[in-house]
Amino acid sequence: DAGVIQSPRHEVTEMGQEVTLRCKLISGHNSLFWYRQTMMRGLELLIYFNNNVPIDDSGMPEDRFSAKMPNASFSTLKIQPSEPRDSAVYFCASSLIGSEQYFGPGTRLTVT
Amino acid sequence: TQLLKQSPQFLSIQEGENLTVYCNSSSVFSSLQWYRQEPGEGPVLLVTVVTGGEVKKLKRLTFQFGDARKDSSLHITAAQPGDTGLYLCAGRRAAGNKLTFGGGTRVLVKP
């Protein structure tokens, strides 16, 4: 069975550009989480959805960040405009609500 | 300020030695999980502990949840190079689906 799929795996962009990160959930899962990991701040939850509905977005840094679930199996995280301090590894994870979270391999974002 | 504090932040030991990683908080959690993360990959769940005082064993790994459900420890016996990785604890509060992660402990086991 395929796990959580993230694309791209690596993204290098210039400050001010729009960045879109993509995530495909494990089939049948109904909860989706976006995390950001840096050396300084560790693994931080940005936002999570249950049944396509955003439940907690208190971790989203600012209005430059937005996340959507256009359907039950897919999500995007968009940063517009990007800044160097957004450089990090972004993970999505999916689960059945209340159960174990399965993480994707991550997208390493570098903003120059 | 992190809700869950892990110590130490980094641990380097020789193969065959034992090690313990700690995860502490002033908050009570309904459950606590331990993950291991290898370079270039996402965290992978090792264990979930739910009951205060609970001890779970996974081969050479022993996990303990504190009686008050505020802290946990991970003990590895006779560490092997394959145990090298970033160990993360994560707590879940009584309500909701949200996990709060500790800062992680980076373990290096040298052959």
Residues A9-34: tens digit of each pLDDT: 999 999 999 999 999 999 999 999 99
- Helix (H) and strand (E) counts in chain B: 0, 11
Q: Report chain B residues whose CB lies below 8 A from the CB of A44.
A: 101
C-alpha closest to that of A106 among B44, B105, B89: B44
CB contact under 8 A, B42 and A100: no
Residue A88 has pLDDT above 80, yes or no: yes
Tell which residue, B34, B24, B39, B86, has the closest CA to residue B58. Answer: B34
The whole-angstrom separation of Cα A36 and Cα B36 is 16
Residues of A in contact with B45 (CB under 8 A): 100-101
- CA-nearest residue of chain A to B5? A42
**pLDDT at B95 > cutoff 70:** no
Mean pLDDT across B21-38: 94
A10: closest chain B residue by CA? B40
For residue B75 the two structure tokens come to 């003990």
Whole-number pLDDT of residue B1: 54
Confidence (pLDDT) at B2: 62
CA nearest neighbour of B25 among B72, B65, B71: B71
Question: Shortest Cα distance from B66 to chain A (angstroms)?
Answer: 21
Assess contact for B43 and B88: CB atoms under 8 A.
yes
d(C-alpha B105, C-alpha B69), whole Å: 20
Task: Give dist(CA A69, CA B49) in Å, integer.
Answer: 31
Residues of chain B contacting residue A54, judged by C-beta atoms under 8 Å apart: none
Supply A14's token pair: 């210039």
- The one-letter amino acid code at B86 reads L
Mean pLDDT, rounded, for B17-26: 96
**Separation of alpha carbons B30 and B27, rounded Å:** 10
Please indicate whether, in this complex, the C-beta atoms of A43 and B97 are within 8 angstroms of each other.
Answer: no
Residues 6+ apart with CB under 8 A from A105: A4, A6, A9, B40, B41, B42
Is B50 in the A-facing interface, judged by CB distances under 8 Å? no
Rounded to an integer, what distance in angstroms lies between the CA atom of residue A53 and that of residue A94? 14
CB contact under 8 A, B97 and A93: no
Locate tokens 């962009």: which residue? A13
d(CA B6, CA B23): 4
pLDDT tens digit string along A39-83? 999 999 999 999 999 999 999 988 999 999 999 999 999 999 999
Shortest distance, CA A56 to any CA of chain B (angstroms): 8
Q: In this predicted model, what pLDDT tens digit does every residue of B37-86 receive, in sequence order?
A: 999 999 999 999 999 999 999 999 999 999 999 999 999 999 999 999 99
| Strand-pair category, A10-13 with A5-7 | unpaired
Question: What does residue A85 show for φ and ψ, rounded to 5 degrees?
Answer: -70, -5
| pLDDT score, position A78 | 98
Please tell me the predicted confidence (pLDDT) of residue B93. 84
- Identity of the residue in A31, A43, A104 whose CB atom sits nearest the CB atom of B97: A31
